[in-house]
Structure 1
Amino acid sequence: MTQAHTTTASAPVTVLGLGDMGRSLARAFVAAGHPTTVWNRSPGKGEDVVALGAVRAASAEEAVRASGLVVCLVDYDASDAVLEPLAGALEGRVLVNLTSDTPARSRQAAAWAAKHSLAYLAGAIMVPVDVVGSADALVFHSGDRAAFAAHEDTLKALGEPATYLGEDHGLAAAYDMAMLDFFYGAMGGLVHAFALARAEGIDGASLAPYLHTIAGILPPIAELTAADVDTRTYAGDGGNLAMMAAGVDHILHTAKGHRLDVSQLAGLKSVTDRAIAEGHGTSSWSSIIEVIAADR
């Protein structure tokens, strides 16, 4: 397998797909001094990045042949149709697909790349469009280690450091799904908290400052929970599951009293009840993984 090995600050890069995130990536590459070629399936997008200095290609093949590093932001269904005819043009280049999808889909795409002897990286962008290219940007990469090493300096334009997770192409998507699992669960709880507050006559602006206290204790809790689940030891010294499940029950009854949707809370209560029934009442909250995980 051959691959372009250009790591200077002026290394050219191509961006396929000019939605909000694609344009944000293109802007980051241009700002970092990389000659940037862009292409989008439908016309009329990307005028802003062209105005900044990006070059619009007339076709996907022209865009691919312009650079040794090709970054794809087209969803997998569309990218299959776009990339299949370009296998020949991609030879000797590194393809990086930053489309958010499942780990299984990432591995399927990697199998397609392997069939065509293409250097391939799968990735996941973990920040909003306006954070890309800043010191706070987190972008995961997984797959071909040599391809990542060859273009790490260029990929740092999106967020430094560029985070490489390993050779399994599904890893970036797996981290993405796990982190979004936490995010959307937390967002659901946040909105439900505002709904409960509203039902009690409390406006959101009055509650919000106090929620920072809860948010602030989550990072150390994440570290402790990681240690619990990795070692499968669940010491309930700081508050056992039975005590915390009682708190869930109180919230559930309060919400039901206001006729709120309680599907998320009811699901959580079901999990805690099952864990307690299996003997984890004196264990930490982390022990509920023993009824959630398939490998228990």
Structure 2
Amino acid sequence: MKILMSGASGLIGSALAPYLEAWGHRILRLVRDKSKKGEFWDPRQGILDLPADAEIDAAINLSGDSIGSGRWTKQKKERIRSSRIESTFLFAKGIARLKRPPKVFLSASGIGFYGDGGDVVLNETSPAGRGFLAGISREWEAAAGAAQEVGIRVVNLRISPVLSRYGGLLPRLLPLSKAGLGVVLGSGKQYMSWIAIDDLVAAMDFILGTESFSGPLNLCAPNPVTNREFTKALNTILKRPTLFRVPSFLLRAVLGEMADEEFLVSTRAVPDKLTSSGFEFKHPEIEEALRHVLRR
């Protein structure tokens, strides 16, 4: 297939693009620098230089400003919002107007859609939660609707935190854990869904080829863990003790709203659509997944 992809240089895209190319697919990248090879676009200016007669079989949207870099100021929150919603709407409209639209559009969303679910197990039929990220996720998924209106199969990928050596959650935690400062956050009872980068890219390839998939789809491993379980697994692998806990009030004092939305929120999401379709995770358990990713 010829696949048009945004965010190909990001954490997920930089793993997904070569994976798909290794299986014989051709990746056409959306780029923001005209000097680079690919199709130019500038979501802030509403520009997408995609010829109307472009022949594309599938499209994958992975664009979005990182939620984990820096305190959530008013400006940061606006970047988070615009980098997801405006770019997704532009991408969806761009492929919808093609003379021969692609058959499928995989568009990133987030597991934050569910907000704080406590101990409740959340699947794709669970309702949206409350909070900044839940609201963003609802708008993000709605922005992809322009593609669905012309008959493109749209899959909203509710992506959980990704385990990778090269970005995301782990590089932020490893220095602290290696120094013996891998701490439990808040009560430690809050659940987190997660997925190893290898399983993520394999699942996205599987979704591309499975025509029955449409609408929301949880991209997470089948066994969510509590923050305490995750911290202990990581510290065990690094041969460090789990001695400390950071109280919720201190996290909120340092990080503000970001503390509740990213570190104290409890999201016990499971990938029912993937598992019921026969997709097999290579790394379904947290300690084995961490050992694989960290090569330990």
TM-score (norm 2): 0.41
Structure whose CA Rg is larger:
1
Greater per-residue helix proportion: 1
Greater per-residue strand proportion: 2
